[in-house]
Amino acid sequence: MKFGVSDWIQQVKRIAVVALILGVNWANADELNTGDTAWILTSTALVLFMTIPGLSLFYGGLVRSRNVLSVLMQCFSITCVVTILWLLIGYSLAFDVGNSFIGGLSKGLFAGVDEGAVVGTIPESSFAIFQLTFAIITPALIVGGFAERMRFVSVLAFTALWSIIVYAPITHWVWAEGGWLFERGFLDFAGGSVVHMTAGTAAVVTALVLKARQGFPTQPMPPHNMTLTMAGAGMLWVGWFGFNGGSAL
């Protein structure tokens, strides 16, 4: 069964319609803006679209053909692992009231993130899921730094530890009320520090630790399929409208 761009657009439209219909039941009608809710859900779908399949295809085309499935599986598995961790403790550590460096655990398993909880003009549940997509794409970006050089189990372990030890605290510093950078007026509109600086630093460090691929540079290792890379880049481009636009709320 073919699933093209038009099908993705239809799915996004359906999400927006559902949000408009059900949004008033999610929170206090005096505080909730259904238009903002519809947009944040659309942005959530777009940011997730950046990782699977966008970033997966982008990296998949840059590696050798024998490692394509490995890279695709790494990106998909990172999505699964981070989703579970975000539900368990990640969201709480990032956005719960704690101290200036790390959040508490009272929002573990999304405790208190119910139909009456509101963040700004949107339900907290929608906000939490939107932030989940940022938590997913950040470690997925690091895959390019160790492509073809790390075992699958090691990738999962690294992702779990890095998400809890690095991503969640830095998110709390920058985006959570009470975070030490937030309280000092630090502004990060759409992840320049939380996402890109952390992922870039981690990618450089892992590349230096793991060193070059075996046989490189004496053996040529060209990208095996630039068509996949271009397709992935196009998906990333489209998804960025949700990445940046959703952050406006």
Question: Is 203's pLDDT higher than 90?
Answer: yes
Domain map (residue ranges) of the chain: 5-24+32-248
Write 101-105 long-range contacts (CB < 8 A, 24+). 101/169, 101/172, 101/173, 101/179, 101/180, 102/168, 102/169, 102/172, 103/168, 103/172, 103/176
Residue 44 has pLDDT above 50, yes or no: yes
Distance of CA 194 to the CA centre of its chain: 11
pLDDT of 56 above 90: yes
Q: Which tops the pLDDT comparison, 219 or 88?
A: 88
Indicate the DSSP class of residue 151: -
* Each residue's pLDDT tens digit, 12-42: 445 444 444 444 444 454 578 999 999 999 9
Q: What is the structure's pLDDT at 14?
A: 55
What is the predicted pLDDT for the residue at 169? Answer: 97
Mean pLDDT over residues 95-101, rounded?
A: 93
Name the more confident of 20 and 128.
128
Region 118-141 average pLDDT: 95
Query: Lowest-confidence range among 23-37, 107-121, 200-214?
Result: 23-37
How confident is the model at residue 120, as a pLDDT?
A: 83
pLDDT value for 130: 97
Contact 147, 63 (CB under 8 A): yes
Q: What is the pTM of this model?
A: 0.85
Q: Say how far apart CA 104 and CA 99 lie, in whole Å.
A: 8
Interhelix angle 68-85/124-146, rounded to 10 degrees, is 150
Give the per-residue pLDDT at 24.
41
Tell me which fold the domain 5-24+32-248 belongs to: Ammonium transporter fold (1.10.3430)
Q: Could you tell me the pLDDT band of residue 129, with boundaries at 50, 70 and 90? A: very high
Looking at residues 81-107, what average pLDDT do you find? 96
CA atoms within 13 A on the CB side of 142: 28
Question: Tens digits of per-residue pLDDT, 169-200?
Answer: 999 999 999 999 999 999 998 899 999 999 99
